[in-house]
Amino acid sequence: MSRGYLGREDRGQQMSLPDTRPSRPTADGSRVTTGGPSAHSASNADAKRTDPAGRSRSGSGPAGVQGALAVDGSPRASLEGLAGEAPLHQLAAAVAQWPRHFASQDWITISYLVSLLVALMIGAGPNRGPCLVRVAGDLGFFLFVLALVRGPVLRWGSAASSLLYRTSIIGALLSSFFQLREILPAVSPWTDDARIYAFDLTAFGFEPSVVLDRYVAPATTEWFAFFYFLYFLILCVHVLPMVYWQPDGALLGRFATGMLLIFMTAHLLYMVVPGFGPYWYLAGTFGHELRGGTFWRLVREAVEAGGAQKDIFPSLHTAVPTYLAVFSFRHRKVALFKYWWPVIAFVATQIIIATMFLRWHYLIDVVAGLLLAVAGSLIGQHVSDWEHAKRARLGLQPVWTPLVYPWSRG
């Protein structure tokens, strides 16, 4: 039985079972046990130790296959052991224990995808059927990957398991983001631009995109377009090395949990407060047209090709760079962030201004993004540290294991 699926109490109960094997009388009146589980197990053990040619058979199959099918690296945890040595009810118990090994980010991702499904079911817009199929596919694929890496299939900590798990989380998030272009109108076929603009005027007394209109010129437009487009680069520069090369599981856990909370919360809020932004709602109030060079063209093409269109509240262009700056500052004792946090902090301020200068966001969108960044940093670190300590205490597989590539082994 796989270690972690059969507790001490269960093993104790197995050892205390009465001997019910049949016996036969001997000539002196005593009785000798015949057959039964022990004899069968002994013969099986002998058969496993040697084959007819006297060769060892304890590691049936290639060592690589046996190791890949072990949850904790032990041959006892392989599927072969579960199927051949454990009763059917114990195998069912092992499957029932599968969710117990889920980590916090697993539940966050599952909850997010289920929320999208529920929103589509109760939505009032068109094209909900195809959207339901796609999101259900995302959820099904993610659960399938969890069955491989959290269940007794792929050895946890192997390069294949680690790569598959990390890529599946990024894939689920990216896939759902690109589907938001159809999900948002399917769930919320209205826009809240009028209410958002009215709130800004009531709460703050002005709208930044209107105030900044006097400073619009080709040079300023290109400057802020450069930083707005830089958002995609700094996202890749932070996420990819952290996910695929960071050996510190605790640091990776804090970073990933906070990022998932920020992105998935924002995606769900887009359905609650949909809007196009000042460039659409206030189009007739601006005195200067936005004109720029290469980066302004790239920004417009990126938004038109991949943007969700009604994704303004909260501003992820505010939340994500702010989170990266806060995370870098909080971990500035780490050499990686010691000199980087002032740079990313400056970049974050320029991106935040760009969201309003380029007329993509209202002021309340930016405020919500700032609050989301701080909340993601605080809650993400707390949840990750709690998860790490809990799994160490219960002896569960770690949330993240170092990803050791074959070519990096000595």
**What does the domain layout of the chain look like in residue ranges?**
65-189, 190-392
At 31-54, the pLDDT tens digits run 444 444 444 444 444 434 444 434
The larger pLDDT score, comparing residue 46 to residue 191, is at 191
CA 295 to CA 297: how far, in whole Å?
5
The larger pLDDT score, comparing residue 260 to residue 33, is at 260
Lowest mean pLDDT among 76-85, 151-160, 304-313, 395-404: 76-85
- 13-25 average pLDDT score: 45
Neighbours of 33 (CB within 10 A): 12
Structure token pair of residue 99 = 């969710």
| Chain center to CA of 28 | 70
At 161-184, the pLDDT tens digits run 889 999 999 999 999 999 999 999
- Whether the pLDDT of residue 16 is over 80: the answer is no
- Whether the pLDDT of residue 358 is over 90: the answer is yes
Q: What are residue 274's phi and psi, to 5 degrees?
A: -80, 145
Give 74-115 as a DSSP string: -GGGSHHHHHHHS-HHHHHHHHHTGGGG--HHHHHHHHHHHH
- 352-380 average pLDDT score: 97
- Rg (C-alpha) for the chain, rounded Å, is 29
At 269-279, the pLDDT tens digits run 999 999 999 99
CA 250 to CA 270: how far, in whole Å?
31
Structure token pair of residue 92 = 């069912």
